[in-house]
Amino acid sequence: MTEALFREDAYRRESPSRIVSADPRGVALDRTVFYPRGGGQPGDRGELVVEGGASVPIVDTIYDADRKTILHIPAEGALLPSPGASVVARIDWDTRLKRMRTHTALHLLSVALPYPVTGGAVGEGEGRLDFDCGAPLDRGEVEKKLNALIALDAPVGERWISDEELDANPALIKTMSVKPPMGTGKVRLVAIEGLDLQPCGGTHVARTGEIGRATVAQIEKKGRINRRVRIVLCDP
């Protein structure tokens, strides 16, 4: 089982870690700052710096089949360190921060548009949510609402509840296509103070003001009642 340092501190960019196993399929560490693909958020890229200075480029991060071990996928042909070796695990921070801002903005988009979410994707400074919503949506209105929520500069925190508590409060689950990570006995809720509370395992900024200004780039009709809303963040 890999200790997931990004869960306690999404702003942590690197950590001293030890190689547990290494093959071209993936490198497992005892602890990591790398976020593994999940919940619509892509896996982190970055590097593992071996003692002596050699760097192993990491192109993606995933969970192994056990859902407990995090695998850092090395670039093709990269020379791999041996199990037991000490490394510094360092993420590509510019990319991660853009994803954190986008991810948090999508939480607020689900507040601006209080409809069931059927899908979504977090990109670098852009992202989308799909809503089950029969009514036509006005792009300008949605954009105004979203930016008003961002401007509240609300703190973003977390709370943990038991699987049973979540089962008893199904209204907490907005995203029907992404099942919250259950089965470990407790579920992580991401709380945007006074605005939003939902199960989520991703990485977020500490306050909504850090998102900066967002534009609603497109609202697309996907089927009779599905609307795909795409947002783009302005550079801070």
> Footprint of Zn ion on this chain (CB under 5 A)?
190, 200, 202
**Minimum separation from the CB atom of position 193 to Zn ion (A):** 15
Q: Which stretches does DSSP call E strand in the chain? A: 3-4, 14-23, 26-29, 31-32, 46-50, 55-63, 70-74, 86-91, 117-122, 126-132, 156-162, 186-192, 196-199, 214-221, 226-233
- Residue 72 CA to residue 185 CA, distance in Å, equals 26
Q: Which is nearer to Zn ion, 58 or 100 (CB)?
A: 100
d(CA 72, CA 76): 12
Number of helical (H) and strand (E) elements in the chain, helices listed first: 4, 15
For Zn ion, the closer CB: 125 or 202: 202
Q: How far is the CB of 184 from Zn ion (least distance, A)?
A: 18
- Nearest distance from C-beta of residue 165 to Zn ion, angstroms: 19
Cβ-based burial of 88 (10 A; exposed 0-12, middle 13-18, buried ≥19): middle
**C-beta closer to Zn ion: residue 191 or 225:** 191
**What are the backbone angles phi and psi of residue 212, rounded to the nearest 5°?**
80, -175
The minimum distance between CB 4 and Zn ion, in angstroms, equals 15
Question: Across-strand partners of 47?
Answer: 57, 90
**Nearest residue to Zn ion, using CB?**
200
In angstroms, rounded to a whole number, what is the distance separating the alpha carbons of residues 188 and 146?
Answer: 24
CB nearer to Zn ion: pick between 35 and 115: 35
- Minimum CB separation of residue 169 from Zn ion in Å reads 17
Q: Which is nearer to Zn ion, 19 or 187 (CB)?
A: 187
- Record the tokens describing residue 130, joined without a space: 């799909």
Closest CB to Zn ion among residues 81, 201: 201
Tokens of 213: 């200004």
Cα separation of 202 and 49, whole Å? 25
Q: For residue 14, is it left (φ>0), alpha (ψ between -120 and 50) or beta?
A: beta
Nearer to Zn ion, 15 or 175 (CB): 175
> What is the nearest approach in angstroms of Zn ion to the Cβ of residue 103?
5
In the complex, the smallest distance separating the C-beta of residue 198 from Zn ion, rounded to whole angstroms, is 7
